[in-house]
Structure 1
Amino acid sequence: MDPHQILELARALGAERAEIYQTSSFGRSANFEANRLKQVETGDEQGTALRVWCAGRPGLAVAHGPVDARLLAEKAIAISTFSKSEEADLASEGVAVESPLFVPTPIEQLIAWGEETIALVRERYPEILNSCTFTEEVGTVEIVNSAGLELCYQSFSRGGFLGAEWVRGEDFLQIYDGETVLETLSPSAIAAPVLQRLEWARKNSPSPKRSVPVLFTSKAVEVLLGTVTAALNGRQVLQQASPWSQLRGETVLSPLITLAQAPQLPPYITPFDDEGTRTMPLEFCTRGVLETFYADRRTARQLGLPYTGNGLRGGLGSYPQPGLFN
């Protein structure tokens, strides 16, 4: 349904401010197990979230698939009666958006890529059992609000993921790797890191009986940064739950570390957040020095921070909250 009609109906029923957040997605995948094609899957989803403010109180209602506009608006308004009053801070500044050109990949091509990837591994290690998934996903986000904002962006990605299981006597090895790209997937590029690790595992070696250095590869960064990203969360800072709440301008990490977000970095290009705010390149820590925090519009306003496009939803039924991307 046209989001403008939903907005008009919500206003007619008593909403002072309103926002429509609509998403649609389509995906397909070819899935292999034990070196053979197991199944081909396709799926599509559509959803609409209506956020309203009545007497200064927010309400949120969600519909999946076809939308009954009146029922959706009535639910959102009814829910607002149970909320605490807050300022309605809706984005109004337009964002220049250029969706990338999307050319669908036939499911036969996804299957062919999977078969080729497995063949590359079995050519050198015929005894290994491989699992493999090749996917393509396309999604559209549209945001329209009563402040005059109208945004729409379509994104897509392709992914290839390979898992190898090697049983050798009493030894058992599992290896997983993959990549997500905007361009055409390369079976050889996906198989290469798995083949490299299999080569390293050809010969068993005894553990050294001495102190050895511990190396953290790029794969470990996401896990290790969990505590850091929690400390940078503006909501945590506002609640004084972050150990860095009062440390802006001070050194909190190694001078070797700079943490930043890059909205235009493929494959997860993000021109605006889930509130319709333009996303901004931003350094949170520069050479170990704490510069700023990430926040949604409401949290940023309370902390006196600029709007940087870090208001993300955990799902259609969630209010925007501080979030990170890229």
Structure 2
Amino acid sequence: MNDSILQQILDLAAQRTDAAEVYFVSSQDTPIEFENNRLKSLQTKAVQGVALRVIREGRLGFASSTDLTRLEDLVDAAVQTSEIGSPVEYEFAANFHAWDGSGQSSFQPPATSELVEVGEFLIQEVHRYNPDVLVGVNFHVRSGTVKLATHQDVYAERSTQTMSASVSGNLVRGEDFLEAYSYDVARDGIPSYDRILNELLQKFQRAEHGATIQSGSYPVLFLPRAVASTIGGLFDTVLSGQAVVQKASPLADKVGEKLFDDRLTIFEDPSLGVSACKFDDEGTPTHKKAYIEAGTVQGFYWDRRWAARAGKQSTGNGFRGGLSRPAPDMVNLCMAPGSTSIDRLIASMDEGLIVDQVLGAGQSNQLAGEFSVNLDLGYKVEKGQIVGRVKNTMVAGSIFEAFQHLVDLGDQPEWVGGGAYLPPILFEKLGVAARGE
């Protein structure tokens, strides 16, 4: 896209508004998908578009379009929405110039034919373990560019190129249905095929035998992916400035209070990982920050809108999904590791549960910091050994009580997708509910 289009939009908006911000996004995704052991689809999808926010007579207007030939219509739509828009308590970014990206990267993603070969190899390796497994393999090669400009001397641009690989397996034995998956993503590089294959095979091996557990209170070990979807997801919600302003966060008035075990430190480091970026989608610089340090609540993450409502400054956490308006979001959620290996954590359990995959994000009463998840894949531990897979089982608790009964965090954090860097966590006791077969 020619940068002059951003300037044209700003110039058109300047004639009719008091302030304007233009956000352009372009992305391309090439998926290579195998389903039920067979190659299914190869079709590149590309999208681009522009979103415009304006301030006019103290009110916010917003419009977006994927048609870059009708710029006057875009400005018209934004001006019209400002007539009924909400009052604005904040200003758009000013005096900021940045370039951030992999445009200079020498990384060339593998050719489609090479990825097809890798997919066939992964299927073959799973079938060496068990030919009855229906295997799915997905690769996505994605590239994207974001450009942002405002009427107050802002021009920021970033480019990213990522590649993801996932492998899944379905195994049906009579009435028993087992689905396991593994996933890795890399920026300017190739994900680890060995890692996802070995992780998937380990899941099937651990699930070869069935096991049962009675309802009650047990030690529960969450593996990193389950930490992300259960505990990480809850912290992601309660640390949002929006949840604080809406009084939906139990941490809202707890800054400076020690609410958790002093081994718990949760932070964000926008210089790390696949999603690393130097500025957010509003043109605010990002920076590393601790939200909970040694168990003490330090603060929250903010975009411009919700920060203004709370009398705070944006923390560089205004991000968009596609061409939507910005909202508070983290670049990544990181948790400082503990000091115990995962093998020692498992060996320390006399009778307990390992949570590997959960169904959905689980039910939770976020005002109370509570979570409740159904196990998609979980294992029983007896006398420090994994004895088999449990089914029809649910784990529930609250982040406040759980961290009062923390055994330890594992010493090896893992990236879960691009947005979380988390260790396994063993709690001494959580509620386990097992439904009868």
Q: Which moved more, 1:255-264 or 1:178-187?
A: 178-187
- Choose between structure 1 and 2: higher strand proportion: 2
CA deviation vs aligned residue, 1:148-187 (integer Å, no higher than 9, x gap) = 0001100111011111112234432211111111212332
1:216 and 2:218 aligned: no
SS at match of 1:295: coil
* SS of alignment partner, residue 98 of structure 1: strand
Q: Flag as ranges the 4+ runs of structure 1 deviating above 4 A.
A: 208-212
Deviations 1:51-96 (A, max 9, x none): 1111121100110143411111111111101123324411124354
In the alignment, the residues of structure 1 paired with residue 6 and residue 238 of structure 2 have an alpha-carbon distance, to the nearest angstrom, of 37
Give the Cα–Cα distance (whole angstroms) in 2 for the partners of residues 79 and 301 of structure 1: 21
Q: Secondary structure at the match of 2:331?
A: coil
Which residue of the partner structure matches residue 149 of structure 1? Answer: 154
Deviations 1:90-142 (A, max 9, x none): 11243543312153432222212211211221122222210111110001000
> CA-atom RMSD, angstroms?
2.0
Find the counterpart in structure 1 of residue 288 from structure 2.
Answer: 281
Please give the TM-score of this superposition, normalised by the length of structure 1.
Answer: 0.92
1:227 aligns with 2:234: yes
Q: How far off is 1:29 after superposition? A: 1.1
Q: Secondary structure at the match of 2:238?
A: helix
Q: Which runs of 5+ in 2 are unaligned?
A: 333-437
Separation in 1, partners of 2:246, 2:183: 38
- Aligned letter for 2:128? E
**2:116 — aligned with what?**
111
Residue matched to 1:166: 171
- Whether contact under 8 Å (1:95, 1:272) holds in the other structure is no
Greater displacement, 307-316 / 297-306: 297-306
**In structure 2, C-alpha distance between the alignment counterparts of 1:167 and 1:40, rounded to whole Å:** 28
Q: Secondary structure of 2:43's match?
A: strand
Q: Distance in 2 between matches of 1:234 and 1:170?
A: 46
Matched, 1:186 2:192: yes
Q: What secondary structure is seen at the aligned counterpart in 2 of 1:26?
A: strand
Are residues 261 and 45 of structure 1, via their aligned partners in 2, closer, same or farther at CA, if it must alter by over 3 Å? Answer: same
**Residues 196-221 of structure 1, C-alpha deviations (whole Å, 9 max, x = no match):** 1222233x244366975222121222
The aligned counterpart of 1:324 is 330
Aligned mate of 1:195, from 195, 201, 222 = 201
1:34 to partner: Cα distance: 1.5
The separation in 2 between residues aligned to 1:263 and 1:49, in whole angstroms, is 24
Q: 1:219 to 1:273 in 2, by over 3 A?
A: same
Question: Who is 2:430 aligned against?
Answer: none
Residue 52 (structure 1) aligned to one of 40, 51, 54: 54
Extract unaligned runs of 5+ from structure 1.
none
Residues 135, 50 of structure 1: CA spacing in aligned structure 2 closer, same or farther, 3 A cutoff? same
Cα 1:288/1:95, change in 2 over 3 Å:
farther
Q: Give how far 1:188 is off.
A: 2.1
CA drift of 1:233 comes to 1.6
Please give the secondary structure, in 1, of the residue aligned with 2:101.
Answer: coil
Q: Does 1:39 align with 2:45?
A: no
For the residues of structure 2 that align with 1:21 and 1:263, how far apart are their CA atoms?
A: 20
Secondary structure at 2:8 match in 1? helix
User: Which range moves more in the overlay, 231-240 or 149-158?
Assistant: 231-240
Does the aligned pair in 1 maintain the 2:307–2:314 contact within 8 Å?
yes
Opposite residue 62 of structure 1, the aligned amino acid is S
